[in-house]
Structure 1
Amino acid sequence: MPDLVTSLLSISSGGIVGLVLGLVGGGGSILAVPLLIYAVGVKSPHVAIGTSAVAVAASALGNLFPHWRNGNVKWACAAVFASAGVIGAFGGAAAAKAMDGQRLLALFGLVMIVVGALMLRGRRCEGDPNVKLTRESASKLVPTLVGIGFIVGMFSGFFGIGGGFLIVPGLMLATGMPLTSAIGTSLFAVSAFGAATAASYALSGFVDWPMAGLFVLGGLGGGVMGVQLGQILSAQKRGLTLVFGSLVIIVGIYVVARGFLPVAQAGE
């Protein structure tokens, strides 16, 4: 069991991720790995990724139910997308575990920079709210759902992140569904990818379960506060997203620098 200071840092870090997710939505979980390493003090990037995957899966599952109640989850599309993605997630996790931890961390920082840039760009809301996966539409929708789902799942498993920033546009591209439906549907895939990644890392002993539990606990509390604060600041949500996207880029640059520095020193 982590000591008191580590426990408090784990809960606080989870709270930050939950708060950000409640405020700006997708992309918030990208902070989980750097928080576990640089704030909580997890030494191994592999353990940080495996532990964060547990938290990502739990957070997505918890947020899935409100979207389900609001009718924003297209279950047939979600099932096909997630099934293909889970296979990709296991493959991505296996590849990541075989990579040097510092190089993996540096690549993670590069991903953060890309995610931040995508958040700064924003997302379009157009789409067909009536799109459904049926026998008639299967020949058109299934190939794109499977192909994009596998690629995004592999990416998610490799870096131990939810991948919502890729899943949402991926679902919109594959099916033509609107943003609200893509966000709700993506949470099913995020929870599935996170669970697959966590299982792969757990089998290799790369999950700190007590820490993961504390991180999830903090995330639940932070998520409640984030949703409430997000309602109050709804008029400034685009501004909040821009600020957070900039923060992700800055943290990503820091992670890249810290990740590549030991590699460069090792080569001297």
Structure 2
Amino acid sequence: MQAALGVASGALVGFSLGLIGGGGSILAVPLMVYVVGVADAHIAIGTSAIAVATNAAINLWNHARGGTVRWSCAIPFAAAGIAGALVGTIFGKLLDGRKLLVLFALLMLIIAVLMLKTRAREGVPDVRISRDNMPAILGLGLATGTLSGFFGIGGGFLIVPALMLATGMPIINAVSSSLVAVTAFGLSTAASYAWSGLVSWQLAGLFIAGGLAGGLIGTGLARSLSAQRGALNIVFASVIVLVALYMLTRNLFAF
């Protein structure tokens, strides 16, 4: 039963990564804790980082074939974030697991509001890195990486709005490009947790297997929704709000 739940949960994670370029760890951590039954929140975070990074790389390939990845912006953003992710994991492992999940949920709600406020913006689809936007790309990459490492997440729900803010690109390009950083941040975070022995490799494998199919479906749906103005933003924000409220309900009463 636990194996079946792991595969099904992985499919949902892969679907989310393909659809909104993130949400993998937003879903993976609570799914591991509340559905699959991983008792230690830190093991759930470490295992999800492995699974999310691998599924993000697969979904990046799917989006790249559609020509929506803006590599010149995504690569330096991810490079700046790797250093931040490694620092963030050091402090994240020092905090109580339940408190970490509550802070995680509160940050998600803030991001959801920001995404809804910008849902009508069209953006610049052919954006490239330049002297003007380079400081914002590197600065937000570093900040996002630090938060991703601290919360033990791939960071897509932070990276998508950060890329849109730094470059002005449309959400479909931010979703696609974010997967470069999600992969890099996830691997950085996973390496730190694996070094501490906080990864369940068998469960990570089940999540990755389920994520293959889910990712293909999510990528196709993302391309369809991107043609409808604001639709992908609304889906992005809705996923974040629902999971954040669930996590707050489960954890606030524990204090």
Q: Which residue of 2 aligns with 1:26?
A: 21
Does residue 1:173 correspond to 2:133, yes or no?
no
Cα 1:242–1:97 shift into 2, 3 Å: same
- For the residue of structure 2 that corresponds to 1:123, the secondary structure is coil
- For the residue of structure 2 that corresponds to 1:131, the secondary structure is coil
Residue 241 of structure 1, CA deviation: 6.8
The 1-side partners of 2:176 and 2:226 are apart by 18
The two structures have a TM-score, normalised by structure 2, of: 0.86
- For the residue of structure 2 that corresponds to 1:73, the secondary structure is coil
Does the CA-based 8 Å contact 2:108-2:157 persist in structure 1?
A: no
Residue 76 of structure 1, CA deviation: 2.7
Q: 1:35 aligns with which of 27, 31, 36?
A: 31
- For the residue of structure 1 that corresponds to 2:205, the secondary structure is helix
Q: Which residue of 1 aligns with 2:97?
A: 101
Matched to 1:220, the amino acid is L
Q: 2:192 aligns with which of 197, 200, 212?
A: 200
Q: Which residue of 1 aligns with 2:250?
A: 258
- For the residue of structure 1 that corresponds to 2:125, the secondary structure is coil
Does the CA-based 8 Å contact 2:22-2:182 persist in structure 1?
A: no
The 1-side partners of 2:47 and 2:145 are apart by 17
The CA deviation string for residues 11-67 of structure 1, in whole angstroms up to 9 with x for no partner, is: 111112223444x42343111111100000011111111111112111211111132
The 2-side partners of 1:243 and 1:187 are apart by 17
- For the residue of structure 2 that corresponds to 1:197, the secondary structure is helix
Cα RMSD for the two superposed structures: 2.8
Cα 1:124–1:148 shift into 2, 3 Å: farther
Does residue 1:157 correspond to 2:149, yes or no?
yes
Does the CA-based 8 Å contact 1:120-1:246 persist in structure 2?
A: no
The CA deviation string for residues 104-137 of structure 1, in whole angstroms up to 9 with x for no partner, is: 122122234334444554634533334333xxx3
Q: Which residue of 1 aligns with 2:201?
A: 209
Q: Percent identity?
A: 52
Q: Which moved more, 1:248-257 or 1:112-121?
A: 112-121
Give the unaligned 5+ runs of structure 2: none
Q: Which residue of 2 aligns with 1:221?
A: 213
Larger Rg: 1
The 1-side partners of 2:192 and 2:93 are apart by 9
The two structures have a TM-score, normalised by structure 1, of: 0.82
The 2-side partners of 1:199 and 1:182 are apart by 25
Cα 1:155–1:124 shift into 2, 3 Å: farther
Residue 91 of structure 1, CA deviation: 1.2
Q: Which residue of 2 aligns with 1:62?
A: 58
The 2-side partners of 1:240 and 1:80 are apart by 25
Q: Which residue of 1 aligns with 2:179?
A: 187
Residue 244 of structure 1, CA deviation: 7.2
Cα 1:70–1:250 shift into 2, 3 Å: closer
Q: Which residue of 1 aligns with 2:4?
A: 8
Q: 1:142 aligns with which of 134, 141, 147?
A: 134
Does the CA-based 8 Å contact 1:162-1:190 persist in structure 2?
A: yes
Matched to 1:45, the amino acid is A
Does the CA-based 8 Å contact 1:168-1:179 persist in structure 2?
A: yes
